[in-house]
Amino acid sequence: MEWCKYLRDNYALSLHTDISGCFCGCIYKMSLRQRGQGGSAVLEKYVIKGGKELSGEVFISGAKNAVAAILPCTILSDEPCIIENIPNISDVSITLQIMSEMGAKIRMLNKTTVEIDTRQLQNIPVPYEKAKLMRATTYFLGTLLGRFHSAHVSMPGGCNLGDRPIDQHLKCFSALGAEYEIDGGMVNLRADKLVGTQIFFDKNTVGATINAIMASVKADGLTIIENAAKEPHIVDLANFLNTMGADVRGAGTDVIKIRGVEHLHGCEYSIIPDQIEAGTYMVAAAATMGNVLIKNVIPKHLESISAKLIECGVTVTEYDDSVRVSCDRRPGKCNIKTMPHPGFPTDMQPQFAVLLCLADGTSIISESVWDNRFRYAEQLTRMGAKIHVDGKTAIIEGVPSLKGAPIRADDLRAGAAMMIAGMVATGVTEIEEIYHIERGYENVVEKFRSLGAVIERKTFPDEDKKSHKNAG
């Protein structure tokens, strides 16, 4: 099984399958430190030699944020579901592992298609060891509550982007009739029955909007969600649920109406292309002054990214399901303020910051979503960038070039930005903590190589661990 082999080889997963090829489970050991020969500890890094213009074509994978919700959502189905266009990323492997351990039967039909049968799934707790690895484990709260009227899920982890409370999630569960308690880091939900209601979110929240939808699709009566998030992956989730027989209307607007149904049937469904992966390659093409055709995209989802690239003097040409990005001169300055969809996505601002580090003039980035989004600035400064961060604002003075340096990936999107920085820098850049990147980008090394980037995945002795051992 190619998919399972990929996970085992790249993410230190121990997999086992039955003779039918069913994915039965895995032991996730995601860590920056891997074991070398003789039990010695090693570090995995990306080593990038910069200065190459990117050119060619790249195919965009299924959306990480969409699949993160849709896979747990199959728990609500009374029949097996087939999900297509699954990205080969570690967040998928963690989700499938959790579901497999709960009793779901998971069969990989090919490297991008999975069949999930949750009829025998048991309502067991989602432990801290799994929940700490990604934020999306919160979606098990909504799906388990919707099916079993109870749920037990550890508080989530994921990228350290600042305060990420679940108060709005709990608000919607309470409104539907559930009681909750948080005990020892475990969120416990229980309801005699779920009843449709009116939910108004105090702030725009993607995760809580998704959980509200999933918890209410089988509730009695009508649920109205106001101030709902409008991201493309919320629309994708609603389309998936409707394909199973749900009645969800208004997704993509700030008011979503859900009329509960008694049963949801199985279906075949294909995940939308990843908006942020596409945007990352668009920015990489512009930053390296390259010419890249980005295929398998929905151009409508990329409008805010395209608009800012064009403002910087980059050429963006849209086709039916692809975009071409080209740049033959130093980009111009621009100001960015991240906003909920359809505004400029917060998940694209670290990548865009690299482009603005090379721009002609001074640019300002205002972050309105996460508190700790600018942690990457320190890494870019090591490469010669001029960035001043004040709270949730970054002032970037463009410089002619960046220089290769040892840097790290502080989180998923910052890691993608470091890769772009390495590709535009002179000399060699080594990136540590690459596991962050592989949470959300499928075959990222291979894809960038296909565009002409000089990048390798290498292992190095873990000097920190060696020193600690010697000191002991």
Catalytic: which of 4, 26, 81, 159? 159
DSSP alpha helices (H): ranges in 302-407?
303-311, 349-357, 377-382
17's CB contacts (< 8 A; 6+ apart) are: 1, 4, 23, 24
Closest CA to 114 of 153, 72, 144, 65: 72
End-to-end CA distance of the chain: 43
Question: How far is the C-alpha of 73 from the C-alpha of 351, rounded, in Å?
Answer: 31
Do residues 57 and 122 touch, judged by C-beta distance below 8 A? Answer: no
453's CB contacts (< 8 A; 6+ apart) are: 48, 52, 54, 423
159 in catalytic set: yes
CB crowding 152-164: b at 16 or more within 10 Å, else e: bbbbbebbebeeb
Q: Give the H or E element holding residue 166.
A: none
Q: Are strands 362-366 and 336-337 parallel, antiparallel or unpaired?
A: parallel
Question: How far is the C-alpha of 391 from the C-alpha of 394, rounded, in Å?
Answer: 8
Structure tokens at 287: 């930053």
Do residues 155 and 131 touch, judged by C-beta distance below 8 A? Answer: yes
Active site residues: 159
